[in-house]
Structure 1
Amino acid sequence: MTQQSSADAALYTTSASAHGGRAGHVDSEDGQLNVRLAVPTELGGDGGAGSTPEQLFAAALAASFESAMGAVARAENYPEFGVMGVRATTALLKNGDAHDLTAVLDITLPGLTRDRAEHLVDQGQHICAFSRALKGKIDYRLHDA
């Protein structure tokens, strides 16, 4: 179990519980999240209505990274900074008897030069909690607007 050092003051803490595994549901302690889960056909399920843990992770990763880039843009006073797009694609991989998770972030930053956009993506990687937790497991692809 990882322990938090005194230098790692928690900014936000939350918890969620799973009930029934991949074919059950997840909910948060505060009641704001209540999601039905379903096993996709690719994993032997019926593909019924519901989300997958990988979809939830992709959504969280995209939101977190977009927020990180927004924080960098504001801190560095990017006057041309406008609406951005971040699409996260996750893949569950078989690795012997275990599984791995990888992610690709497709990023569109209209209104920025290529150099400024690359800088924003690079700096976003340094402050995004998900990027830091998955260091080396995310492919960042910057697309022209």
Structure 2
Amino acid sequence: MSIQPVDVLYTAVATAEGGRDGRVATNDGQLDVVVNPPKEMGGSGAGTNPEQLFAAGYSACFQGALGVVARQEKADISGSTVTAEVGIGKTPAGGFGIKVALSAHIPNVDNATAEALLEKAHQVCPYSNATRGNIEVTISVA
């Protein structure tokens, strides 16, 4: 798989200090959060963690892609939600990796239509394109 060029429309900038046990903030001041490993990974769980931030970004981005596809298909996705579950764990090679499970609730379409919309959104979503072939991503209708 080759990397495709991107005509950049916007660039987000965030700076972390202290790694998984510190703070991360955007240069525009819109986001400034304490990060802390979850209890399952030996942290206090007092702050947010990178996996939660990734899940928030992926779910929002995928919902946006779903909206783009729904407009093209003239499908009613009002009241829909997308949930991203991001898991982290050890890889067989000894490092760490993540996997994602996306599920969408789309109340105004039948199951087959919802599945088709999700597959098309998965082709449009920048997060899906960035992770394709790199991590396990599953998609389902809630």
Report the TM-score, using the length of structure 2 for normalisation. 0.90
Q: Distance in 1 between matches of 2:41 and 2:140?
A: 27
Cα offset, 1:76, TM superposition: 2.1
- The answer to whether the 8 A contact 2:115-2:140 is kept is no
Q: Distance in 1 between matches of 2:44 and 2:111?
A: 44
- Give the share of equivalent positions with the same residue, in percent: 36
Match of 1:140 in 2: 139
Cα offset, 1:15, TM superposition: 1.1
Query: Which aligned runs of 4 or more in structure 1 are off by greater than 2 angstroms?
Result: none
Instruction: Map residues 15-34 of structure 1 onto 2, 5 A cutoff.
Output: 15-34=13-32
5+ long unaligned stretches in structure 2: none
Q: Distance in 1 between matches of 2:43 and 2:63?
A: 32
1:46 to 44, 47, 53: 44
Cα offset, 1:4, TM superposition: 7.8
Cα offset, 1:138, TM superposition: 0.8
* Letter aligned with residue 139 of structure 1: T
* Letter aligned with residue 18 of structure 1: A
5+ long unaligned stretches in structure 1: none
3-state SS of 2:66 partner: helix
Instruction: Map residues 116-135 of structure 1 onto 2, 5 A cutoff.
Output: 116-135=113-132
> Which whole-Å deviations, capped at 9, do the CAs of 1:87-136 have from their partners, x for residues lacking one?
11110020132111101011111010122111110110011000111115
Query: For the aligned residues, what is the CA RMSD?
Result: 1.6
Q: Distance in 2 between matches of 1:50 and 1:97?
A: 26
Instruction: Map residues 1-145 of structure 1 onto 2, 5 A cutoff.
Output: 5=5, 8-47=6-45, 49-78=46-75, 80-95=76-91, 96-136=93-133, 137-143=136-142
